[in-house]
Structure 1
């Protein structure tokens, strides 16, 4: 599974193929002059992917001390490749070149990574991805804690549970264009089934279909059925299992790709500028942050390229 994402991304490593792919995507979005734009962006699209792969190859063999920096820059290059599918003129102005995220410059005494937060800026790569690639609104100046973000990654949940940090989830099934949730999920929300259905319909914009075989069955927008674009369902790659948060404050309305980007940004900044704290953590293994960070890096190394590949292949088949 580890190389699956890159094997699929390598399918695009031909100018002829990438130009045909981009032209088709531009036509599907009714963009002006798709042939000219695809000709202009074919090589750039490949270069972004190849540059990302170079970062990921180095990250794979790098020590933990510098791995976050390499992974973050690899993620940024992959997102830039994806942006060319929705914004043929990227970058049209310098404001979209910055990372688009900030974090506290000076870490407080007794700093804990798990309790740290990042802020999405009004301009930059992050906001451009949010708006152009995912068509999401309302995230300007939004703050997210590492606790919130890490809880969106099912692979991290085993670590959180082991560390006595509660992050309840229930298994969900995505089948035949429908989402099946166990009917006892309502109990986790301290709601009746009827109230839970109303809650989900209002907050997630899902549509209730029926109750069957101990499950509440919903339909939703197409993006919710794909792990790379879903903002509500969580996906564990190794087991290919979907999960649904079992607490109402666990919804961030963020696709997991952006969750990875935000966490990796914070870690890359720590690795670059908080050297004393960073090496104290890595050498002493004194806090639970060490295992959380290690597990996140291992997961992101595999999962982020896989999601990017799925995102691009979905555009090819749509």
Structure 2
């Protein structure tokens, strides 16, 4: 992986006190103190150094350095999006916990390596939950272009949600070419066309072959599915859509025409749980970082060519994925928030003009 110069050039804004002050004023129409701005820029600078060191590090430690970089970048972002609060308001801890990893990875090494996909984490109070709250579990949707066509904020998941490593891996479209063969296409389907309006509800055409493996999960939520050759038509009214939003995912690494993140609908992670792609990338990095830190024997064996290493190509691609997409999605989120603030300001000024013309 090479650090994307364009992405990190944009992210230099998080390292500039003047730009951070300007962004915060545009977002919240309030002044940010220089002290608070320094807290944001310091975290952003740390993040870049962690990513830079990860880029040059061996596989033995690279995922751990990447996770520290992701955590620092998340910290900078949530502080920018948390008006009136600073570092002292953040809950200590990662906000994620490993669950019974010692038992999952016990016994013969080759057997343990095959069980890596079964590793579980649990959400808890801490940086991750703060990040999810301040980013509003926000997802930028690319339906037709490299620009953001639409955006959604998923409901905040409760603390204590447990997820397996493979539950996240198998929902990332960028990994589909190297997932174990039995899992290809079974957890996400590419979107050919999509629309939504309050009056008409939600509509999408998706790849039939990919979608059929998990279409029952959407039928159970109240969606109607009509197969039509290579495509399946999914639709629902606005009430169903608002109550049970689809789990959207994109291919950010393997973009269409090199610039358009390819939109997919994924199998819901859990019936009532939806996560932004930023949250999923953060969690994947946590899995990789903690495996590296606390189980170095297993981690080194996994990437050194050992019996039981069937998941290594997928895990390696997941590492490249989080390194690439998390910084890109952070700047996309900030730009989308700034765009939304500008649009709100324009609407407000138009409203003032209208009320003053009587």
The question of a shared fold, defined as TM-score above 0.5 by the shorter chain, is answered with: yes
Please report how far the alpha carbon of residue 310 of structure 1 lies from its aligned counterpart in structure 2 after TM superposition: 0.5
Q: State the alpha-carbon separation in 1 of the partners of residues 71 and 311 from structure 2.
A: 24
Q: How does 1:275-294 map to 2 (within 5 A)?
A: 275-286=296-307, 287-294=309-316
Give the structure 1 partner of residue 40 of structure 2: 45
State TM-score, norm by structure 2.
0.70
Give me the TM-score of the superposition, normalised by structure 1: 0.78
Q: CA 1:279 to 1:87, structure 2 compared with 1: closer, same or farther past 3 Å?
A: same
Count residues in correspondence: 286
Unaligned regions of 5+ residues in structure 2, if any?
A: 138-154, 225-230, 256-260, 341-358
Q: Is the 8 A contact 1:52 1:75 kept in 2?
A: yes
Cα displacement (A) at 1:217: 6.4
Partner of 1:90: 86
Measure how far apart 1:45 and its partner are. Answer: 1.7
Which has the larger Rg?
A: 2
Q: Secondary structure, in 3 states, of the residue corresponding to 1:70? A: helix
Q: Aligned in 2, Cα 1:184/1:73: closer, same or farther, shift over 3 Å? A: closer
Q: Kindly state the Cα deviation for residue 250 of structure 1 after the two structures are TM-superposed.
A: 6.9
User: 1 or 2, which has the higher strand percentage?
Assistant: 2
- The corresponding residue for 1:313 is 335
Could you tell me how far 1:176 is from its partner in structure 2?
Answer: 7.6
- Once the two structures are superposed, residues 32-61 of structure 1 have per-residue CA deviations (whole angstroms, 9 ceiling, x without a partner) of xx21x3533222222221111111111111
* Distance in structure 2 (CA, Å) of the matches to 1:47 and 1:269: 24
SS at match of 1:199: coil
- How has the CA–CA distance of structure 1 residues 97 and 216 changed in structure 2, closer, same or farther, with 3 Å as cutoff? same
| Inter-partner Cα distance in structure 1 for 2:52 and 2:333 | 21
After superposition, residues 122-133 of structure 1 pair within 5 angstroms as 123-133=125-135
Within 5 A, what are the aligned runs for 1:1-318? Answer: 2-27=4-29, 34-35=30-31, 37-88=32-83, 89-93=85-89, 96-103=91-98, 104-106=100-102, 107-109=105-107, 110-111=111-112, 112-121=115-124, 123-134=125-136, 136-160=155-179, 162-168=180-186, 169-173=188-192, 181-182=204-205, 185=208, 196=219, 199-200=222-223, 215-216=233-234, 232-237=247-252, 238-239=254-255, 240-245=261-266, 247=267, 252-286=273-307, 287-318=309-340
The two structures, once aligned, show a CA RMSD in angstroms of: 3.2
SS at match of 1:100: strand
